[in-house]
Structure 1
């Protein structure tokens, strides 16, 4: 994509490299996951809880930014971590319906301000979720009202920073089992973005910039 492309051209270019809004996994059956930095084949024998997140892109004067949250310190899982708005699917929901609902419940973003673009690479977490990242463009004029039970802080991070591979670090931690886990991480200002959120962002980068693209 040309550096001089207009926001409309960039939106169209991003959308072309996403999966369509269909209630299924990509035909390849490949997902990213917490277990490592390499793509993992899906395993039909393991029952995972379907979930979705909204990767919300906001057009700003300096370029697109990404809507992110820091989770509340009172939550039982992923306490205080940086995350996209999102959560598990309710019965009968599609991934994009769940992503929009969760974004409204967590940060007060009304769905009318979101133009859905498509689906990025599913991500399998070590806690048993299969997360579908739903990419959407957030129009100007929106207001946010974070739910303090779930969200401690809402902020934006430049899309260009998140799509720059030089900003990604490969970290390693030892689990209680003795196994080692490798994961992506990056820091922007005072926000440490790692684990599933960084993994989904890296997967989006791979879709957009990781191969020769039109």
Structure 2
């Protein structure tokens, strides 16, 4: 028992199975203009291999030996062309785990000055701002999809109750859509945004 207790000394629980999942970190960047706050979004470059031309928050992969917060700051600096002194991290937000084996650590922060950004055009086509008041009052459309288990052809049905008749639970995957001018914010970005806005509304 002592050996077990010693192993769990200073143990920090995380997400079961994270070792085999992709991990990323993003920033919800607040920007103050004319006395009011907006959220900064990126339109991803059409040169990108993944999600070209889609809207996202600054962020990306968490490198080995890097904390989620460090990754958030590094990726933001690389993508919008700023420095760490121009970013004020306010708080971590709820961790998001997708059905596609992806863990995302979102952070809320402030970009103090956006006048001298040097956008990385290889990754970001351009940035744009959406007023927080607009987003808080926006009635987002939600579309709920089913998430089903599709057993592998070699799945050992003979080892479980009811064999081939076993019914795997069906999950739900809601997708939010926010529209602003000619922009459509959806997918994981909209889900992280919705989580933040819901916290603001209820606290």
TM-score by length of 2: 0.74
| 1:72 lines up with 2:68 in the alignment | no
**Residue equivalent to 1:187:** 179
Choose which of 97, 108, 123 in structure 1 pairs with 2:81.
Answer: 108
**Residue equivalent to 1:38:** none
**Residue equivalent to 2:139:** 167
Structure 2: gaps spanning 5 or more residues? 1-11, 151-169
* Runs of 4+ residues deviating >6 angstroms: 177-180
- What is the aligned residue count? 170
**Residue equivalent to 1:132:** 105
Give a deviation string over 1:19-52, Cα, whole Å, max 9, x none. xxxxx78xxx7xxxxxxxxxxxx6x146322210
Q: Secondary structure at the match of 2:190?
A: helix
After TM superposition, the structure 1 = structure 2 runs for residues 71-90 of structure 1, keeping only pairs within 5 Å, are 71-90=44-63
- 2: CA distance between counterparts of 1:205 and 1:112? 26
1:119 Cα deviation (Å)? 0.6
| 1:49 lines up with 2:49 in the alignment | no
TM-score by length of 1: 0.70
1:206 Cα deviation (Å)? 2.0
- 2: CA distance between counterparts of 1:192 and 1:117? 26
- 1: CA distance between counterparts of 2:22 and 2:115? 31
- 2: CA distance between counterparts of 1:173 and 1:74? 29
Q: Secondary structure at the match of 1:99?
A: helix
116-125 vs 133-142, which deviates more? 133-142
Q: Secondary structure at the match of 1:163?
A: helix
Q: Secondary structure at the match of 1:167?
A: coil
**Residue equivalent to 2:160:** none
Q: 1:171 touches 1:182 (CA, 8 Å); kept in 2?
A: yes
Q: CA RMSD in A?
A: 2.5
Structure 1: gaps spanning 5 or more residues? 1-23, 30-41
| Larger RCO, structures 1/2 (Cα 8 Å, 6+ apart) | 1
Alignment CA distance shift 1:78-1:127 (3 Å)? farther
